[in-house]
Structures are given as structure tokens and as C-alpha cells.
Structure 1
Amino acid sequence: MKPADLTEQYARFPEISRAEIQKLVNWIQSQPHMHNLSEEEALHFFHACKNSMEVAKQVLDTNLTVRTHCDEFFANLDCERPELQRAMRTVSICPIPQTTPEGYRVIFAKLADTNPSSYNFVDCMKLYCMIFDMWMYEDGIRPGHVIVMDLKGVSLGHVTRVGIFQMKKFLFYLQEAAALRLIGFHFINIVPFMDKILALMTPFMKKELMNILYVHNNLEDFFKYVPQSILPKDYGGQNQEFGEISETFYKKLKDNRMEMMEFEKRHQVDEKLRPGKPKSASDLFGIQGNFKKLDID
């Protein structure tokens, strides 16, 4: 994996001072419970937090803490593991090569195998996070990112395989710890039981995320946010087909297998060395036993 060119990123965002990023890098290096992160990675957090140093420090610490205590999504990142191989066959994850007119990057996810018995929510979300990490590391900072979930082929059988506590963890990470400026969260090709899907999500969504959540009854409405021209051929766009783009990223993930496993080690904290009180999974996510299963029958 090759990180995005720093000179180009600073030129694209002249309001960001490289001296400020160096201060953040120095702060990271002074934290006994953290591994050293690169200038490129520090830049992601600073930009995601709208150039606020103190917020960037807080979000970065939360990010690494979540990665340490959320084994489901951020541990065992060997793409040769059977569960990740199965996830690659089950879902297609497709970062779009072109940006929107505003400069936003777009990432799609949809089912490749519509058999509910093939679907494991945790493994698919782990794969999603791996692709996102690799993509952003190589792409650099952008004005914003757009997440698109295509529900074509989704059945109630898939929904019953989503754990409510795992959904809480993923949405906590997305809202509190991810180093990105999320501009839009879109659902397309929606299903009759969309209310059941939203019932899994909305208890854990803040107002800020609710405000950028879009459920589209038709693609024409969606194209107002993401131009059809930049989309894969499957959606009437001018890009490669969805599956081809997805396979390109899966191949890159496999080619960088060892680097992703090293990435996992560097993006964790050592709670024994944390100044003050160590943090645990329950500090972040609460107690799993407190959650009742949602009625989605």
C-alpha cells in the first residue's frame, strides 16, 4: 500500500498547516499507550475533525481504543482467513474511482450472494472496514465521503442475522471514531421491510447521522446526490461494472495481506500503559446483556 502524496494533499487543502499536523504527530509519539502513526494518518484525523487539534486527539484515541476492544471488526485481518474469503464471495464493496462534482468520494456495498445462510454481518463489516481503511490510506483526505448501501437481494433472512450489539458497535465507530467527513448515508433499491432495517439502526444514531440518512424510492432521486455518470455500468454509468471494481479492491487487499496485518497491530492501544484509568469494551459500548433482541418477525 502506498499512502497518498502529502504535498498534493496539503496543496488541495491550503487551510491545513503542516506545522499543526507535526504537532499532532509529536503528541501521538508522546502517548505511551499508542503506537507511532504516520503524518499521513495524523492528517486524516485532523481534517476529519474540521482542523480542531483537541477534537482530533480525542477522536484518534477513540479510534485506536475501539480497534483494540472491538475484535469483531478490527482483529484477525488476514484476508486468507476462511471467514473473510466467504465475506468476499457474499458482498461486493465498490469504492468509485471518480468523485462527485463537490469532490466527494463514494463507496458502495451490496450483496453478491443473496442466500441469507451465506451472510455473516460481522465478517462483512470487517471486510468493509478493511477496504475502507486501505482505500482512504491510498486516496488521502477529501472534502467528504458518501456511503451507499444497495439493498437489492436483501431479505428478512439477512436482517435476522444482524446482531443488535454489533450494529451498535459499528455505528459507534462510524460516528465517534472514523477518520472521515461523512456527507451522506444512502440506501437504494429499498425493500418493503425497510422499517425493520431502520429499527436496527436508529436507536444508535445521533441527530447528525440521521440528518444525512437518505432512503431513496427511486434511483433518479439518488442521482441528484451522486451523478449517474460516475457510477458503474450496472447503474447506467460510464465506469467499469460493479463487480470488476470490487474485485480490483479485493485483489489489492490480497496483494497487501501482510501490510494489512501489520496495520492491525499498529492501530491498537496498550491499556496497561494508558495514562490514568485503562478503558474497556464496556466503557465504550456498555454491557451486551442490556440489549434485547428486536422483534423483526
Structure 2
Amino acid sequence: MTLNLIDIKSEYAKDKDLKQGDVELFMTWVNKQPHLPKINELQAILFLQSCYYSNEAAKTALDTYFTVKALCPEMFGNRNPLTGPMKETIHVSVMTPLPKETPDGSTIFFVKLTDTTPDKYIFVDQCRYFDMISMLHLYQKGTSKGHLIVFDMKGISFPHLAKLGPITMKKLLFYLQDALPVRLKGLHFVNIVPFMDKVLALMRPFMKKELMDVLFLHTTVDELFKYVPQDCLPQEYGGSVEAVPILHEKIKGDLRNNTALFEWEETQKVDESKRPGKPKNIGDIFGVEGTFKKLEID
């Protein structure tokens, strides 16, 4: 199986703090764990760099990453963009890393609905979509000094809120904060909706202080420019990056052209029967799902 991955040499060249000896030591530990899948050098680099080169933090993050992916197949399985739920999901929104980094070297993940029909919005499928484009970018472009998520809420209506759910939201935010190998520097909501308080009421119970500290709400796009240079954004926002429809077509093409990578990803899961000590289950990670109450919408 041929995977289109970034050249490892470029990762060492761009980051003087990344030491090959540390990467080899980390890989050796991971590949000796009976319950974990074998990893390659790029994966080791991604987790070490995202954890600021802390070997112990990287071990925890990587174990969490593969554990969550195994225990949440409804969110991380069925990753083929040509079939199943992803075939339609990629048309509902554009989720894409923007080609221009911020001056401090951070990557911008841009998110916006392109089909605002509430019935077509399936939250768990959108979570899968976000993970797929995030991991594809990391595998093909490598590490970044930071990552920003910019979510333009224009077109989101109250019926979309009813499509969200506390269980899926908890899983997404846990994964984003504890497993995804990125340095998250900002979560920006733009063109916020009148019912943003209800969205936040759903999110806040599952957010750590570190994420709350980098959560920003912007009534207008102009407010975003205080944090994200306008020039780094698509043309519709006055930036120099290609227009949103063009970006959308490109990311859909990238997903379709990398089905082999997503098939390989699905083989990389923990084997709880081989975990030293007590095997983990979904309750160990997320608590008892039955204790969640349905979101109240006034």
C-alpha cells in the first residue's frame, strides 16, 4: 500500500528542537507495547512535537488517540470518502487547512457549511470529516508551530442545534484536547448565531481551562482580524487565499485521492485484549453514557 506522506528529512530540517534520538526512543517504546499498533517515524514525530517533545506526554496522547479510535467506531470508522456516510458528508461543509500560515507559523483549519439544510447535517459524520482532513494534512504537510480552527457560523440555524448531542460533543472535545496531535492555539467562531449561548452550554462542561482560554467568539469577520491576519483567509473574507468553493473542491479531491491512507488508518487501533493490566472500555474514557441528559432546547 503506497501512502503519500511528507518526507521525514524535511521535518528534522525545519525544527531544530526535534531530535532523531528522541523519535527513535519513542518509537521503540510504542512498538514494544503489545496492545498498540506499530507506528512509523512520521507518527512519532507528530505526537512528540505536539506534546512539546515530552516523551511521557506523547506516550499518553498516542495511547489515547488509538484507544478512542477503537472505542468510537461511529465517529472514526467508515473513513472511505467514496462510499458510506462520507460520500455525502463532504458536500455539506467545507473543512480545509488554508494554504497560507499565520506569521507565527500556525496552520488555519477553516470550517463553514456549504449546504445549510439541517436534515443533511449529521454531527458525528462532520466530526469524522474534521478528523480526516486534519490527519491528512498532518501526514502530507507535517508539523506546525500551532493550529487555529476558524468556524464561520453563517448559515447555521436553530434546527442545526437539535442535531448536536452531548455524548458526541464530549467525545469530540476529549479527542481534540487529549489525542489529536496538534498544538491548538485558537478556536474561533465567526458570525456567531443568536443562540450561541446554547451551543456553549453544550460545549463548556467538556472543555478544559486551556481550551476555554483560547476560545474566541466574533460577531463579525472584522473582529477575527485581530487574531488571524485577513490576508491568510479566502477571497470572500478579503484575503489572498483562493475562494471557498475552489478550496472545497480541492479538499474533496484530496480526500478521494487518498483512500489508501484512510484504509490504513482504520487498521491502526488498540487491541484491548493485549493491554497490560486492565483493558479499557468506553466507560473508562468517557464515563457512563446513560448519565447524559438530552439537550434541552427552549
Normalised by the shorter chain, which TM-score bucket?
over 0.9
Counterparts of 1:181 and 1:260 in 2: how far apart (Å)?
22
1:54 and 2:56 are equivalent in the alignment: yes
| Corresponding position of 1:256 | 258
The one-character-per-residue Cα deviations of 1:40-98 (angstroms, maximum 9, x if unpaired) are 11011001111110111111101110011011221111112232122112111121001
Instruction: State the identity as a percent.
Output: 42
| Corresponding position of 2:19 | 17
| Corresponding position of 2:271 | 270
| Corresponding position of 1:135 | 137
Q: Secondary structure at the match of 2:155?
A: coil
Counterparts of 2:151 and 2:89 in 1: how far apart (Å)?
16
Deviation at 1:194, TM superposition (A): 0.7
The one-character-per-residue Cα deviations of 1:175-220 (angstroms, maximum 9, x if unpaired) are 1111110000000011111101111101100100000000012222
Aligned partners of 1:95 and 1:246 also within 8 Å: no
| Corresponding position of 1:106 | 108
1:175 and 2:172 are equivalent in the alignment: no
| Corresponding position of 2:294 | 293
Counterparts of 2:194 and 2:261 in 1: how far apart (Å)?
42
Equivalent positions of 1:221-240 (< 5 A) are 221-240=223-242
Q: Given residue 26 of structure 1, which amino acid in structure 2 is its aligned partner?
A: T
Q: Given residue 98 of structure 1, which amino acid in structure 2 is its aligned partner?
A: K
1:78 and 2:80 are equivalent in the alignment: yes
Q: Secondary structure at the match of 2:174?
A: helix
Counterparts of 2:61 and 2:116 in 1: how far apart (Å)?
36
Q: Given residue 138 of structure 1, which amino acid in structure 2 is its aligned partner?
A: Q
The one-character-per-residue Cα deviations of 1:264-285 (angstroms, maximum 9, x if unpaired) are 112x111111111110111101
Partner of residue 212 from structure 1, selected from 204, 214, 223: 214
CA RMSD between the two structures: 1.1
Aligned partners of 1:184 and 1:213 also within 8 Å: yes
Q: Secondary structure at the match of 1:225?
A: coil
Aligned partners of 1:187 and 1:214 also within 8 Å: yes
Deviation at 1:139, TM superposition (A): 1.0
Q: Secondary structure at the match of 2:295?
A: coil
Q: Given residue 292 of structure 1, which amino acid in structure 2 is its aligned partner?
A: K
Partner of residue 69 from structure 1, selected from 37, 55, 71: 71
Q: Secondary structure at the match of 2:110?
A: strand
Deviation at 1:125, TM superposition (A): 1.0
Structure 1 regions of 5+ residues with no counterpart? Answer: none
TM-score calculated relative to the size of structure 2:
0.97
Q: Given residue 282 of structure 1, which amino acid in structure 2 is its aligned partner?
A: G
Runs of 4+ in 1 over 6 A off after TM superposition: none
1:283 and 2:281 are equivalent in the alignment: no
Q: Given residue 207 of structure 1, which amino acid in structure 2 is its aligned partner?
A: K
Aligned partners of 2:100 and 2:232 also within 8 Å: yes
